[in-house]
Structure 1
């Protein structure tokens, strides 16, 4: 990642969930995208900070909140001096398959003197020429981001997670990150697997171009399915198929999508419904089928998958 230092966690979910409360405490303010994943939500809950949600990928809405906070700070400058402020975003959003508008977020960081935390569990090993994530994708200096976290359970196909950044930022977690301080270390076998994954990424950067081409292929193939819409950018290996029109009942929508999943499964195409802890999600995403693309899948397999999904949708929804 070309940062000064990194720290390894033994469990992916705990990485960002304990990194956030290691820095943001009671009285601090965190500005968060509404589509933030569940691990981020748990980290915010543990931090006991004041949380302000902005509309998904809406930089104008975020700036509105920042301006409001700036006016509040002017009323009480003494309190403002000791209140830390953070923006928390995902490189690629697990719940929507969208890329965060990082260049605009960095502009706001310097304009309003605020720190940025990036959760890159889905974008690490996917975006950028060498798979370094959303900073490389946009050509942003990695020092402009205060903390990057990601799990090793997606692109590295191992277990655990990491945070990386400046030495003084990472060092702080060794005593303040509860998921690090009160956990055993990563099993050596899985650490070796992750290292091998990194070696493959470093030695064969062409993998990322191949993956992007496959993502674009399946995105294009799934356009125009009657009753379903593709949600997510074309370079995301994890995206969603949502109903074009909801029935108005979440349970009924989920049953319709489950019928599509079952049809695909019987024809040896593995897709799954996106699952959420419905009562605990701050902003519950609409029901969807989550589709995952890997670099190992052949073009023929992707085309077959697209045709089976289309067939399942036409039988179920029409």
Structure 2
């Protein structure tokens, strides 16, 4: 049996090293005591001891990584070696600045497009039913009948609204000076929200600073990636942008085609029944800004209940216009506002003010207080705008301005509808309840002029150009030519008859859906039937004079 002898060697350290070791050990012990007092410190110490016992190299490696991370995040993003820097004199700097030719932010306006800027008249003074204009040639035209204003009820020119604005400005100044959630909300805002909710038969209302930003912000507030939206193919640009911003899955149905809407909803049902539960909306408008017609709200409500969707209704144009008392499309169809989950609108049309709003249930409005970007990150509307809108709501309930507007709309619409000499030249796309008359070139005339059926839209050449970011391709020769034809009519009506009408000025590469240029005649309650009759004679004669020569 063999035996193994183990020998040990003892190394004696000098006394000064022993003193250093003892001091280090004492200091380290104090450090560990301090770490233990930190919440979670004992866990860290136990982890270090365990890792050191099992694999001391890992502890060293982790320490090195921690030090590297600290240095990386605290170091300057850019470091320079001074010896490699070129020192420039003041003369060198001046020469470089003179030679610098920056790229333009936008492309310069081409000669073929310059006419659009040159054709815009300048309104001198307030925008009223009759205005003074400075036309591009420098001439001043006075007492021009303004049939290009969205102030259909002429509320901005009423003495009651003017006095209300003056009093509110004297009381609270001209700006809210802050976002609504902080110190921007004042009593005028709270009163208007109450007035809107009461007028439209909703539980609660919320105000927005800009009418264009209202719809995109509300849509993006409730729809996210993976949610479903089915929208009318005739929606306005603001609604298009809202759907795009929300990044939801979007499907469209043919404009105002309820049978096609039902087909789209039925086709989606099997897929949605098998998939996860998502938010689902149908989006349409009370009065379409691009067509001037209205949807069958009763049929839409039936379909949304059948297929379990919510309804988003933009009433930017229809509030103050549709219904016996101007309460919009639901009043016209006799449908309670509670059947519409989300209603948006604008204060800058029939109410003669500025800003936007959304009405609905308490929970829906409350969600927007912290989740709607245009509400959270914008200053509140000036208090006098809110006050003017409240007065406008009261006035349209006290007088017959809504019924008089509807009578004027029907009168002018009938005149154009019955005009035989225009039947083969233009098509009226708006209905007899729209305060804006929409006139487009007739299909036969478009074919004779070799114009396309529509411009832009899904799958078009313009969509592909926009996706590539090719700004040089944004110009469309046919779209420009057709717009020029319509502008000739606008100019002749203004110069020969002192009547201002307008045409749609939609920017082709901004739109996601197909579009067509059109003439637009805005009806105002301030005009009598005889004045509207004169306007019809003037506009119809100039339409005929321009188009029959093509």
The two structures have a TM-score, normalised by structure 2, of 0.56
Of structures 1 and 2, the larger Rg is shown by 2
**In structure 1, how many angstroms separate the alpha carbons of the residues matched to 2:359 and 2:494?**
39
Instruction: Give me the whole-angstrom Cα distance separating, in 2, the residues matched to 1:116 and 1:220.
Output: 32
Name the residue aligned to 1:222. 416
Match of 1:67?
266
Q: What residue in structure 2 maps to residue 32 of structure 1?
A: 231
Which digits, 9 at most, give the CA deviation of each residue in 1:271-307, with x for residues without a partner?
1111112112122321101111111111121111100
CA distance in 2, matches of 1:17, 1:74: 28
Task: Give the aligned partner of residue 142 of structure 1.
Answer: 337
Gap runs ≥5 in structure 2: 1-199, 452-477
SS of residue matched to 1:158: coil
Q: Secondary structure at the match of 1:222?
A: helix
The within-5 A match list for 1:161-310 is: 161-204=356-399, 206-223=400-417, 224=419, 225-226=421-422, 227-244=425-442, 245-246=445-446, 247=449, 248=451, 249-266=478-495, 267-310=497-540
Q: What CA distance in whole angstroms lies between the structure 2 residues aligned with 1:41 and 1:89?
A: 11
The number of equivalent residue pairs is 313
Tell me the secondary structure at the aligned position of residue 433 of structure 2.
coil
Task: Return the offset for 1:251.
Answer: 2.6
Describe the superposition over 1:200-237 as per-residue Cα deviations: whole angstroms up to 9, x where unpaired: 11212x22211111001111112234312222101110
Moved more, 159-168 or 222-231: 222-231
Instruction: Describe the superposition over 1:37-75 as per-residue Cα deviations: whole angstroms up to 9, x where unpaired.
Output: 011011111111011111000111111111111111233
In 1, distance between residues paired with 2:252 and 2:485?
Answer: 31
CA distance in 1, matches of 2:527, 2:271: 53
1:315 aligns with 2:545: yes
Name the SS of the counterpart of 1:148 in structure 2: strand
For 1:262 and 1:90, how far apart are their aligned partners in 2? 31
State the match for 2:328 in structure 1: 133
Match status 1:92 vs 2:287: yes
Aligned mates of 1:60, 1:229 — CA distance in 2: 24
Per-residue Cα deviation, 1:106-151 (whole angstroms, up to 9, x for no partner): 0011100000000000000000111110000000011111010001
Structure 1: distance between partners of 2:386 and 2:498: 32
Task: For 1:179 and 1:91, locate their aligned partners in 2 and report how far apart those are by CA, in whole Å.
Answer: 22
Q: What SS is found at the alignment partner of 2:273?
A: helix
More helix by share: 2
Structure 1 position 313, deviation (Å): 1.2
Bigger relative contact order, structure 1 or 2 (CA pairs below 8 A, ≥6 apart): 1
Range with greater deviation from structure 2 (105-114 or 223-232): 223-232
- Taking structure 1 as the reference length, the TM-score comes to 0.96
- CA distance in 1 between counterparts of 2:511 and 2:389 reads 30
